[in-house]
């Protein structure tokens, strides 16, 4: 046996000397509305704008599939969190694009961040550095692995954004229709020539053999069931907060207070401008911003009419069994996160 290989297997990775900054991690499923909360958090006192990164999702998925050890995952988590902590405060992650979620238009502190470009270096031991809170935004971390919630040597506040399942359907359908594009960078696997999402491993045959509409519905049902179980498991933890898209839209002031108390920071002077840009609070859910590539539109202005139109799309294109299971998922969601949408079942 090769002794070098034996020694490699015995290595235990770690990073003990880490930055002590608090971390806010914003997570959610595809299309849940994380971009709505990002600018709000970025505008809080002594909070850096969220860094959008897929690395935490990828590490969590590798953990989920037993492709990486816990010590290696924890070490990578800490390395990248420290990298973002340093780079953000130094101004290395400033996004000058106008229309990105993390770009100029959605950064309430752009002038402050722009000035960082002219700073030669930063004092890592200063109160200004250590008291700054770092925020990171990822996808599907909670449902793949909850390891990040209890990461050793790091103080992480984990926020899960959830959204009514019916209102993510068109986003998921559009995304899965483009799943083979080169631009799609998710961790996936192949069954023959069929590209499969990581979460569909146990039902890959159903995914392959279903229509585009049904595979979308199956994916939502499966991921929301995982989500509900994870929320129930971690709901008692002080560093875990769940915010629904609907509550942010309709009950904005109360949710801002909850968010401020959870993070331990007050909202800055830019909050009024941020809320105005996001059109918060709203009369209807869709009266905001979104991506046309995901078939988003501002809707008719009639919430009930929009709801029924979205449901009709599913009823006209999906199997009866999947529709019934989807309605069951909606019922569970309404129980946990009631809103005006419960009136349209």
For residue range 169-200, what is the model confidence (pLDDT) as tens digits?
A: 999 999 999 999 998 889 999 999 999 999 99
How far apart, in whole angstroms, are the C-alpha atoms of residue 312 and residue 318? 10
Between CA 159 and CA 241 the distance in angstroms is: 5
Per-residue model confidence as pLDDT tens digits over 8-55 = 567 899 999 999 999 999 999 999 999 899 889 988 998 988 889 999
What mean pLDDT value characterizes the chain? 89
Q: What is the DSSP letter of 133?
A: B
For residues 53-71, average pLDDT: 96
- Residue 169 near residue 314, CB atoms below 8 Å: yes
Instruction: State what percent of residues in the chain have pLDDT above 90.
Output: 70
pLDDT in tens, 222-267: 999 999 999 999 999 999 999 999 999 999 999 999 999 999 999 9
pLDDT at 120: 76
Residue 88 confidence (pLDDT): 86
Gyration radius of the chain's alpha carbons: 21
Give me the mean pLDDT over the 160-164 stretch.
98
pLDDT of residue 144: 97
pLDDT confidence bin for 291, thresholds 50/70/90: very low
Which pLDDT value is given to residue 195? 96
Which two structure tokens, joined as six digits, stand for 250? 């309709």
Say if residue 296's pLDDT is above 50. no
What pLDDT is recorded for position 300? Answer: 64
Contacts of 110 (CB under 8 A, 6+ apart): 104
Please, are residues 155 and 280 in contact by the beta-carbon 8 Å criterion?
A: no
Which residue, among 58, 121, 53, has the nearest Cα to 86 in the 3D structure? Answer: 121
pLDDT band at 289 (very low <50, low <70, confident <90, very high): low
Tokens of 20: 């002590």
Q: Which two tokens stand for residue 217?
A: 């519905």
Distance CA 225, CA 221 (A): 6
Q: What is the pTM of this model?
A: 0.90
314 pLDDT above the threshold of 90: yes
Q: Best-predicted range by mean pLDDT among 46-60, 100-114, 160-174?
A: 160-174
Instruction: Tell me what the mean pLDDT of segment 188-213 comes to.
Output: 96
Residue 228 parent element (H or E):
helix 212-234
Q: Whole-angstrom Cα distance, residue 105 to residue 97?
A: 8
How many residues are recorded in the chain? 345
Average pLDDT over residues 286-298: 52
Fold observed for domain 13-344: Rossmann fold (3.40.50)
């Amino acid at each position: 046996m090769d002794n070098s290989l034996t020694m490699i297997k015995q290595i235990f990775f770690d990073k003990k000397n880490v930055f002590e900054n608090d971390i806010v991690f914003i997570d959610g499923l595809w299309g849940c509305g994380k971009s709505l909360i990002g600018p709000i958090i970025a505008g809080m006192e002594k909070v850096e704008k969220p860094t959008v990164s897929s690395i935490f999702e990828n590490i969590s998925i590798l953990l989920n599939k037993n492709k990486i050890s816990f010590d290696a995952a924890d070490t990578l988590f800490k390395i990248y969190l420290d990298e973002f902590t340093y780079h953000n405060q130094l101004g290395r992650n400033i996004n000058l694009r106008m229309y990105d979620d993390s770009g100029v238009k959605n950064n309430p502190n752009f002038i402050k961040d722009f000035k960082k470009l002219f700073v030669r270096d930063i004092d890592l031991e200063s109160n200004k550095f250590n008291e700054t809170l770092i925020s990171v935004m990822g996808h599907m971390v909670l449902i793949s692995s909850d390891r990040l919630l209890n990461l050793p040597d790091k103080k992480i506040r984990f926020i899960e954004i959830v959204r009514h399942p019916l209102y993510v359907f068109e986003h998921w359908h559009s995304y899965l229709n483009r799943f083979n594009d080169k631009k799609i960078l998710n961790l996936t696997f192949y069954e023959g020539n069929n590209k499969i999402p990581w979460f569909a491993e146990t039902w890959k045959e159903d995914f392959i053999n279903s229509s585009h509409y049904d595979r979308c519905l199956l994916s939502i049902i499966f991921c929301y069931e995982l989500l509900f179980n994870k929320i129930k498991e971690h709901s008692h933890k002080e560093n875990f907060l769940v915010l629904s898209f609907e509550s942010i839209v309709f009950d904005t002031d109360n949710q801002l207070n909850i968010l401020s108390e959870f993070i331990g920071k007050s909202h800055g002077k830019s909050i009024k401008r941020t809320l105005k840009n996001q059109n918060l609070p709203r009369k209807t859910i869709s009266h905001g911003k979104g991506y046309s590539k995901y078939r988003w539109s501002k809707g008719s202005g009639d919430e009930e009419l929009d709801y029924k139109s979205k449901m009709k799309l599913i009823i006209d294109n999906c199997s009866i069994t999947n529709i019934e299971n989807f309605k069951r998922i909606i019922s569970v969601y309404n129980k946990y996160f009631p809103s005006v949408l419960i009136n349209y079942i």
